[in-house]
Amino acid sequence: MYSDAGTIRRAIHLAALSERTWDEPFVTRKFQSGGARIDRQTIRDAVVEGVTRRRERDAEA
pLDDT at 39: 85
| Contacts of residue 42, Cβ cutoff 8 Å, sequence gap at least 6 | 31
Q: How many CA atoms lie within 13 A of 13 on its CB side?
A: 6
Please give the tally of structural domains in the chain.
1
Its pTM surpasses 0.85: no
Q: What is the mean pLDDT of each run of 10 residues along the chain (61 residues)?
A: 84 84 69 78 88 89 69
Q: Domain residues for 33?
A: 4-60
* Per-residue pLDDT at 43: 85
pLDDT at 28: 65
pLDDT score for 14: 86
Encode 27-56: b = buried (16+ Cβ within 10 Å), e = exposed: eeeeeeeeeeeeeeeeeeeeeeeeeeeeee
Q: What are phi and psi of 16, to 5 degrees?
A: -65, -40
pLDDT given at position 46: 86
